[in-house]
Amino acid sequence: MSTNASLNGRRRVVITGLGLVSPLGNDVESSWQALVDGESGAAEITAFDHAAYGVHFACELKDFDPTTWIDRKRARRMDRFAQMILASARQAEQDSGITIAGQEERVGASIATGIGGLKSFQDCYDVLKERGPDRVNPFSIPSIIPNMGAGWVSIELGTKGPLMSECTACAASNMAIGDAADTIRLGRADVMLAGGTEAPITPVGIAGFDAMRALSRRNDDPQAASRPFDAARDGLVMGEAAAVLVLEELEIARERGAKIYGEMMGYGVSSDAAHMTEPDPTGENPARAMRMALADAGVDPGEVGYVNAHATSTPLGDASETKVIKRALGEENAAKVGVSSTKGATGHCFGAAGAVEAVFTVLAVERGVLPPTINYDQQDPECDLDYIPNESRQAEITVGVSNSFGFGGHNACIVVRKFED
């Protein structure tokens, strides 16, 4: 363990690597470029025959080949959610330039998912029903269980430090990132690979969420279906993605001459204790998570230059988050800050959403470009903030905030700051 620079008496945590596979591209740069260009990742579902379903589209990965990153034999033993997180982890490892060998006991992983191996679960059940119990694949359970995204990252990259796996619905990967940063601050690790993954575009995934009336049914125009904060929003678009950030103690990053994207400054969590699926109607409990994250970061609400909103394109959720941001930042500050939901482009990637949006928030702060909320055409009187409509915006900012709120009342917020030596 190094002697380490500190801020307010604690170890400082910086971001030194990024990895991403998303509906917009199979790496960070292609995804970011498509995002700031205002593109949508929505298209007709290719994963299965959707003719009998009420929803025919989703935000799938395009041309994703796991064997680019994983040995073919091993890839066959993994669910898609594990393949995706490994691709992202390898990208982040390469981007950071870190060498894990020789310090593996000081390097850990914190990898989230909301559901886990949904396709493997469905495949296992189909075989059991059609061919009997003796024909079930012996790799079924290791493919299904949610912690195996984290497990495979540790096995493949050789990390031997703390290994954690959050499973808190759509807040999961923000929690994974926040917990990873705290792990470094506490001295339990020097480097953490932190992120999330989700591969929910399966028959049971589409049917289940559609039965809840959660999904948009704009089958005639998929690319316009995810429209956060817009008055005509009618439901979320299901997405799949994985993302990993390399978090590193500042002095160790300095010593090896690492590129630093930004600093992980704050983390806040709370719970609603309100409803299984609906947001806290008052907005107070998610706002408390935001205020907690800002206090943890030592950031005044007036310093916030960008909020990457959780907004999923649902009528209740987007209106609620507008209240949340106003409560957390104050009406005057909220009116000035740029807010966007990148789910207009990626769809809602559930347990991976926070990690994907953390990557986008880091890049927004580092590059001075705020990504747009696409498909924003008609203002909802209940949603009256600056949502960066349809076109990205140049803006030199210092502080970015990313929100994630999950079914069951899980709330998590992280704060990223432009790195200052």
Q: Mark whether 348 is an active-site residue.
A: yes
Nearest CA among 105, 94, 101, 86 for reference residue 16: 94
Q: Name 342's Cβ contacts closer than 8 Å, sequence gap at least 6.
A: 35, 308, 356, 357, 360, 371, 373
Catalytically annotated residue among 59, 124, 170, 383: 170
Q: Mark whether 56 is an active-site residue.
A: no
Pairing of strands 241-249, 369-370: unpaired
Nearest CA among 101, 102, 103, 139 for reference residue 120: 139
What does the alpha-carbon distance between residue 167 and residue 173 come to, in Å, rounded to a whole number?
A: 8
Give the phi and the psi of residue 192 in degrees, each rounded to 5. -135, 135
Catalytically annotated residue among 348, 349, 383, 413: 348
Catalytically annotated residue among 124, 310, 383, 410: 310
Q: Mark whether 50 is an active-site residue.
A: no
- Catalytic residue ranges: 170, 310, 348
